[in-house]
Amino acid sequence: MEAGVAITREDVLHVARLARLEIPADQVEEVQGQLSAILEAVGKVSELDLSDVEPTSHPLDVVNAWAEDEPRPSLSREEALANAPDPSEGAFRVPAVGS
């Protein structure tokens, strides 16, 4: 969407469906305003002359800081499954995936 394009209620509901979000009916207007403000801010960036700015993937130099890989005790099966909603035979039960 271009900057300056009004976000409609239908746009909000469409984006929510795509993102698999449930927005209560009484909050759609609030989200509509928030999305409009975000697009307006992004639109202001597009007005800048960035022709002399070198593209980057990250604003800071990134250096990997790896910790030493040392063995340590892990959770017992009972501890790992303690908060599982529906464990089965010592494992996590999950919904079936379509075939």
> Cα separation of 42 and 47, whole Å?
9
Which residue range forms the structural domain that includes residue 34?
9-46
Cα angle, residue 57 at apex, residues 55 and 62 outer, rounded to 5° = 125
pLDDT of 2 higher than 60: no
Q: What mean pLDDT do residues 11-19 have?
A: 95
Supply the pLDDT for residue 6.
83
Question: Does residue 2 lie in a domain region?
Answer: no
Based on the structure, what is the number of domains in the chain? Answer: 1
Residues paired with residue 49 on neighbouring β-strands, in sequence order: none
Phi/psi of residue 89, nearest 5 degrees: 50, 45
Encoded amino acid at 45, one letter: V
Question: Does residue 81 lie in a domain region?
Answer: no
Supply the pLDDT for residue 53.
87
